[in-house]
Amino acid sequence: MKIIPAIDIKDKKCVRLVKGDFNNKTEYEISPVDQAGKYKDHGFKNLHIVDLDGALTGETVNLKVIQEIVSKYEINIEIGGGIRNFESIKKYTDVGVEKVILGSAAIKDKNFLKEACIKFPNKIALGLDAKDGYLSISGWKENSDQLTLDYLKEINDFGVSRLIYTDINRDGMKLSPNFNETSKVADISNCPVIISGGVSSISDIKKAKSLNINIEGIIVGKAIYDGDIKLDELAKEIYA
């Protein structure tokens, strides 16, 4: 199972939000590039990066930072945050990211998702952010009337290469992920699923490994920054 540390970038700093709330954020001293290096030094091969500036503006604000991380560390990156057109996808794939995560734009416009999967084969990941079973969009500020599982059934054959499922109620709360709902998503999904939101301890990692065979990995964010999970300890789980 892939263990994927998270880096959220805002104003060129590493930050963490609680439930996606920009007014409830913690800033950390270390730069995104140095934080990526720290993960690389501990043996992690994958990174989950969210450009929060991009999520707010719809532009690839931190493209140069992403490019520096990719070129410096040769690490597999999935990047999300306000990616709403083919031009932005191309900018990221051109600098060498492994996966580009589409969220709100893909939920609002299924044809955009379908075409993106055709134009960029094996590069498109889908971020499904859910609250009480329903998808949320626009940086979690809007709840849609779309049930997560219904939407997934509609787009399941489009060619998405990875699905990242986040329970918003758990994100940044360190309450453990919603394993039950994630398993339901993985049962239906035609592509591998990544667990996101709420990881609080190594026991969450161990539980994730025991779940559905279609679960590819788990994202760990705030628990690392707050020191609840030590990187040395987490790194051991890569090969455990």
d(C-alpha 180, C-alpha 203), whole Å? 16
Residue type (1 letter), 102: L
8, 53, 167, 204: the catalytic one is 8
Known active-site residue 8: yes
Burial of 11 (C-beta count, 10 Å sphere; 0-12/13-18/19+):
exposed
Best CA proximity match to 34, nearest among 7, 3, 55, 61: 7
Q: Are 212 and 240 in contact (CB under 8 A)?
A: no
Q: Who's near 168: CB < 8 A, 6+ residues apart?
A: 19, 20, 129, 130, 131, 136, 140, 197
d(C-alpha 222, C-alpha 59), whole Å? 25
Grouping H, G, I as helix, E, B as strand and the rest as coil, residue 185 is helix
Q: Are 120 and 94 in contact (CB under 8 A)?
A: no
d(C-alpha 132, C-alpha 16), whole Å? 22
11, 34, 53, 129: the catalytic one is 129
Q: Are 208 and 200 in contact (CB under 8 A)?
A: no
Residues recognised as catalytic: 8, 129
